[in-house]
Structure 1
């Protein structure tokens, strides 16, 4: 028998253990296909024969003030909330929610003007969660210390 789906609210608070970023406010968005994480200064850097993707996370929301560098990334075209297509880089990283660590894909986006630095989209939610928009922070409440 399949595991029952967890109910998630309109917002929550999660951890990104691979990035050292904890208690991150996230917005649940079933209208978005992909998940997105706010970052800045995104650029490709060639080191010898290796191409690395460098970026910084949103320190205003408690992210470590450091450069992140990954070699496991891809480039894709994503239609933003205004319907405009834009090229974005996508990384895989672990996210801890409801006490479970899930490896998921996140596009690197400029969400500076947004209230939440992370958006969880349909690909992440599918077969894992049922959304109850009248609720908030269910994972954070269930797994608070």
Structure 2
């Protein structure tokens, strides 16, 4: 058998393939495009964010400095105005040097004036009258005490018409100024209530009675707790319940109101002598 020989078209086909193959092969001389890895991309983004944040911080700091500068300028202007006013006051004072001082009376508000005008002024000690008993007594005015107190001894409880009553005598010393014929008289009053008094030795329950009382132009029914005050200088103490809404205290004064007069008692004209003795007693 005769061997098969390549015909002419085959070498032409090979040549064409070689030529076309060379054309499809990428250029070995061109440079590849640069690429970023994910880590490098994140790092670059972080750098950009940090640069932007620093730029914003600088802007905020600048704005804060501008605000602070504006506030300082405003304070400086205010200080300048105050200084000019002070200089004017100094100049006016220098012009008045050698003249009598000018006193500017304080003005009370109308509301405060009306409130005070509707109340009676009392001193730290006053004469009070007990019209139902028929005597006058010295009283200490004390806003620190809640309920007023009357010196009483021989306090005895009893019942009348189903109600609690007490019978007592005025607790007085020989030096107490009083209408003499009432010293040993029994006084009877219904018990309004009872109050518990806390003391160092313990608590004590005291009866409270209501009695008509006069002090200058004031005439009121006053609640008194009954207790033995013979060891104290004043047989009567007037507390806040009496003072409320009707009186104010001038602690620098004594006996602003005249002593009431009762049958068998001393005339009101002799009260100043008793008041002097009272002041001596207080100072002692």
Give the TM-score normalised by structure 2: 0.45
Which residue number corresponds to residue 116 of structure 1?
Answer: 234
Structure 1 gaps of 5+ residues are none
- Secondary structure of the residue that 2:132 maps to in structure 1? helix
Which residue number corresponds to residue 148 of structure 2?
Answer: 35
Cα distance change, pair 98–45 in 1 and its aligned pair in 2 (3 A): same
Distance 1:84 1:26 in 2: 26
Distance 1:50 1:106 in 2: 18
Q: Which has the higher strand share?
A: 1
Which residue number corresponds to residue 125 of structure 1?
Answer: 243
Shift of 1:130: 1.3
- Secondary structure of the residue that 1:18 maps to in structure 2? coil
Which residue number corresponds to residue 21 of structure 1?
Answer: 135
Q: CA RMSD in A?
A: 2.6
Shift of 1:140: 2.0
Distance 2:201 2:255 in 1: 29
Cα distance change, pair 139–48 in 1 and its aligned pair in 2 (3 A): closer
Shift of 1:106: 0.5
Cα distance change, pair 13–48 in 1 and its aligned pair in 2 (3 A): closer
Shift of 1:128: 1.1
Contact 1:35 1:119 in 2 (8 A): yes
* Segments of 4+ moved more than 6 angstroms: none
Which residue number corresponds to residue 56 of structure 1?
Answer: 169
Q: Which has the higher helix share?
A: 2
- Secondary structure of the residue that 1:138 maps to in structure 2? coil
Larger Rg: 2
Distance 1:59 1:35 in 2: 17
Distance 1:56 1:45 in 2: 15
Distance 1:18 1:42 in 2: 18
Which residue number corresponds to residue 224 of structure 2?
Answer: 106
Shift of 1:105: 0.3
Contact 1:53 1:73 in 2 (8 A): no
1:74 aligns with 2:188: no
Cα distance change, pair 51–123 in 1 and its aligned pair in 2 (3 A): closer
Shift of 1:135: 0.3
Distance 2:131 2:138 in 1: 14
Which residue number corresponds to residue 4 of structure 1?
Answer: 118
Give the TM-score normalised by structure 1: 0.84
